[in-house]
Amino acid sequence: MNELLDNLNLRFDYAALNSEVTEADVRRTCAEAIQYELCAVCFNPVWIRIASEIVAGTGVRVISVAGFPLGANRTSQKVIEAAEAVQDGADEIDMVANIGWLCSDRFVEAEAEMRKVRRNLPEDVVLKVIIEAGKLTSAQQVDATSAVINSGAQFVKTSTGFFGGATIEQVEILHRAARGQIQVKASGGIRTLDQCREFLKAGASRLGSSSCVNILNELRRTRA
């Protein structure tokens, strides 16, 4: 089981997405991501240019969000937001699906929106789609994952973290529904090493958290 935690740093997307995040917070988050050799940092679009300049050449990737956190923007706005973030240096986009459509079983429309965002991004930019699993039934989570697969995105992501965090059950459902065709990102409320172990065991390959540094320090203490 402990092997799941090998290279745990490379599983982490270090998120700083609250409205009160300052440039100083962005610079600190990037510096810590570089120090701990994390997979990526994740910010709102306004900070992407600065973040990409700070982490350039370090191996740390930059993630921007689109349609965050409600997912209720027009599709055209999500497309523009994602494309402009890439112009600013984003390597990945975490897009919030239209949650109202998912809750209403309007998966065809939700999938069309995801596909439109995907088609307007360069091929080498990773697209993760947030489905806010806590708002959906188990069956809707499965259907939403199928929509993500069909859209061409690379990840289905549990949640924004603004309306409740990920659960083990959600990750297990999404992992089964993904059938190895896309990956699963667990996000929201991940604050301990034990949680990381359980989410990875359940099938997550990436973890979104604002507590990466504390968790990795906890891991170092357990292995000292």
The reply to whether the predicted model has a pTM over 0.95 is yes
Q: How many domains does the chain have?
A: 1
What pLDDT was estimated at residue 2?
A: 73
The pLDDT tens digits for 105-157 are 999 999 999 999 999 999 999 999 999 999 999 999 999 999 999 999 999 99
| Residue 3 in this model has a pLDDT that exceeds 90 | no
CA 37/CA 171 separation, integer angstroms: 25
Residue pLDDT, tens place only, 51-82? 999 999 999 999 999 999 999 999 999 999 99
Q: What's the pLDDT score for residue 167?
A: 98
Res. 207: pLDDT tops 90: yes
Q: What pLDDT, on a 0 to 100 scale, did the predictor assign at position 174?
A: 98
* CATH classification of the domain holding 34: 3.20.20.70
The candidate with the shortest Cα–Cα distance to 117, out of 73, 179, 159, 161, is 73
Q: What is the mean pLDDT of residues 201-222?
A: 96
Measure the CA–CA gap between 60 and 193, rounded to whole angstroms.
21
- Give residue-wise pLDDT tens across range 182-199: 999 999 999 999 999 999
Above 80 in pLDDT, residue 1?
no
% of the chain surpassing 90 pLDDT? 97
Band (pLDDT 50/70/90 cuts) for residue 39 is very high
**Phi, psi for 31 (deg, rounded to 5):** -60, -40
Which residues carry out catalysis?
A: 94, 157, 185
Asked if 184 contacts 201 with a C-beta cutoff of 8 angstroms, the reply is no
Mean pLDDT computed over every residue of the chain: 97
Cα 52 to chain centroid distance, Å, stands at 17
- Domain extent at residue 127: 2-223
Question: Can you say whether the dihedral through the CA atoms of 70, 72, 75, 76 is positive or negative?
Answer: negative
